[in-house]
Amino acid sequence: MSNSTKYIFVTGGVTSSLGKGIISASLAKLLQSRGYTTTIQKLDPYINIDPGTLNPYEHGECFVTDDGAETDLDLGHYERFLNVPTSIANNVTTGRIYQAVIEKERRGEFLGKTVQVIPHITDEIKDRIQILGKKGDFDIVITEIGGTVGDIESLPYVEAVRQMLWEFESDCLVIHLTLIPYLAAAGELKTKPTQHSVKQLLELGVQPDILCCRTEHALDLTLRKKIAKFCNVSINAVIESRDAETIYDVPILMQDEELDKVVLEKLNLPSKTIPNLDNWKSFLYKLKNPTKEITVGLVGKYVELKDSYKSIAESFIHAGVANQCRVNVKWIHSEKLTKSNIKAELSDLDGILVAPGFGSRGISGKIDAVKFARENNIPFLGICLGMQCAVIEFARNVLNMTDANTTEIDSDCKFPVISMMEEQKNIANLGGTMRLGAYKCKLKPNSNSAIAYNSELISERHRHRYEFNNEYLAQFEEKGMLATGSNPDTGLVEVVEIKNHPWFVGVQFHPEYKSTVENPHPLFVGFVGAAIEFTKSNASAEAIVDSVN
Ligand code: GLN
């Protein structure tokens, strides 16, 4: 059977956290830079329908696509590397697969047959893999299989891969990402775990074509030959994947190992052009050679697990490069911020970002951090709950509405400055009340946000239930907190700014989901730029004080 789209499967062995997402994104980048349209899909073997209801401590950040899917954070890497949006089809979980099959069964679509893992679940998996290919938009679809080969829950996925390899033959290939551990006591790299992992795949009927070997030390030729011989792959298909200084090095490292070349040969695809990675390399050069340095505070309640704010951290890297500046992020636990330590914690910062979130834990620390930024003219970016905290803080401390709150936390508060819209209130299912995905926003000319975007009509992604309560808008504007961005169709406030502050922007949407290497997000670029200015003016103020003394 021939198929115009090529499918690459990426599996993982030996241990989790080997970085399948980054290897997949790096390979996709190399193929894209050779002129192949490429997309990446993640199959997650857990039973949740999507990661939307998962605690970030369990699963890191929930990434949101334009079409409103709540997805795995690896999709963020795919977008940041490829600069191409993903969609709901790019992330599928076991829960969703079973849900679809069970719904079909209820509709009687299986005509009385016994519904089983094989063939019904595996057929559904194969359909989901091919949805992206059948759209006709992509030459190559890379499908990353979550989890580790050998896990019980991964079995139907590996079986689906085996069937696709059989059906599509040379239009498919398998890359197995594995670990070559270094045993310090023996002073040696060890290949046995990799051999076992490949055997496990073979038991399931899948022979990997390429092995990507994560290692802390270089793989010499003897070792490569050994891996090739015992794992049944060609020697040029043993790819060394060394620990990198930054994830953005990985495409270059993979190019040095000729991963893309081997892939194209095995798929019988012409090399087309030599990959042009000039822009990527110039990004890397600037990343490694900053001309200045700032420190911004990220105030959130999940800071122990940095993956919870993955896209924000990456957006700072992109915006730093755009400003030729190293952006150090100080992770500040909002629950630990108190009135007595706030000055010590925040006064060394050049900018303060208050992070998104749900629920009441840590919110008072966030509100205090906003107050500190507002009163000390420190550049401020509030995202989603961070923006809502900015609104609450302004209401309480400037508009003297001491009991102002969001109805998420206090449904009976006297001044519900953040609340739920009427039409949302009757939806019982928690997943159903969210405003998710891309919405348009119109910005006020000459506002800090319009200047940052250099545009007045933007589109950004949302993930929240509560909104700015327009009943209070006039009071806010009168005292200097302006709604500088709003939804042109509904009038919902999407951006607030403070008039007499150098750079204070709160956004109801999530700009971090759209920042990529190629397109650093304008708001982050603007925020970092403002932080640099703030540092400069502080330094010159100190110099004046010094000279006076
Ligand atoms: N909890 C808030 C809401 O639902 C903000 C959500 C967020 O920060 N993503 O509106």
Cα of 482 vs centre of ligand 1, distance in Å, is 20
Secondary structure element (H or E) that encloses residue 288, with its range? helix 278-288
> Which pair of structure tokens corresponds to residue 412?
């009976």
Atom of ligand 1 nearest to the CA of 386: 8
Secondary structure element (H or E) that encloses residue 47, with its range? none
Atom of ligand 1 nearest to the CA of 358: 1
| Protein residue with least CA distance to atom 1, ligand 1 | 358
Q: How far apart, in Å, are the Cα atoms of 498 and each of 398, 471, 503?
A: 11, 19, 8
Cα of 24 vs centre of ligand 1, distance in Å, is 31
- pLDDT < 70 regions, the chain: 1-3, 422-432, 539-549
| Residue 427 amino acid letter | I
The whole-number pLDDT of residue 522 equals 98
The whole-number pLDDT of residue 58 equals 78
Cα of 488 vs centre of ligand 1, distance in Å, is 21
Atom of ligand 1 nearest to the CA of 383: 8
> Which pair of structure tokens corresponds to residue 109?
């679509």
Q: What are phi and psi for residue 106, nearest 5 degrees?
A: -65, -35
Catalytic machinery residues:
384, 510, 512
**Cis before 511? omega within 30:** no
Residues 209 and 200: their CA atoms lie apart, in Å, by 15
Atom of ligand 1 nearest to the CA of 467: 10
Partners of residue 382 on adjacent β-strands: 354, 506
Cα of 81 vs centre of ligand 1, distance in Å, is 27
Cα of 466 vs centre of ligand 1, distance in Å, is 6
Question: Mutation test of ligand 1: which of 61, 312, 334, 358 has the most ligand atoms closer than 8 Å to its C-beta?
Answer: 358
The whole-number pLDDT of residue 1 equals 42
Question: Per-residue pLDDT tens for 29-75?
Answer: 999 999 999 999 999 999 998 888 888 777 889 999 999 999 999 99
| Protein residue with least CA distance to atom 5, ligand 1 | 385
Residues, the chain? 549
Cα of 431 vs centre of ligand 1, distance in Å, is 13
Question: Mutation test of ligand 1: which of 353, 360, 385, 405 has the most ligand atoms closer than 8 Å to its C-beta?
Answer: 385
Atom of ligand 1 nearest to the CA of 408: 1
Question: Mutation test of ligand 1: which of 308, 353, 408, 512 has the most ligand atoms closer than 8 Å to its C-beta?
Answer: 408
What is the share, in percent, of the chain residues with pLDDT greater than 70? Answer: 95
Question: Mutation test of ligand 1: which of 463, 467, 492, 493 has the most ligand atoms closer than 8 Å to its C-beta?
Answer: 463
| Other beta carbons less than 10 A from residue 161's beta carbon | 27
The whole-number pLDDT of residue 425 equals 59
| Residue 151 amino acid letter | D
Within 6 A (CB) of ligand 1 lie 356-358, 384-385, 408, 463-466
Cα of 67 vs centre of ligand 1, distance in Å, is 18
The whole-number pLDDT of residue 2 equals 45
> Which pair of structure tokens corresponds to residue 212?
């990507």
| Protein residue with least CA distance to atom 8, ligand 1 | 356
| Other beta carbons less than 10 A from residue 437's beta carbon | 19
Question: β-strand 38-44 against 91-93: which pairing, if any?
Answer: parallel
| Protein residue with least CA distance to atom 6, ligand 1 | 464
The whole-number pLDDT of residue 4 equals 85
**Alpha carbon 363 to chain centroid distance?**
23
Question: Per-residue pLDDT tens for 293-306?
Answer: 999 999 999 887 88
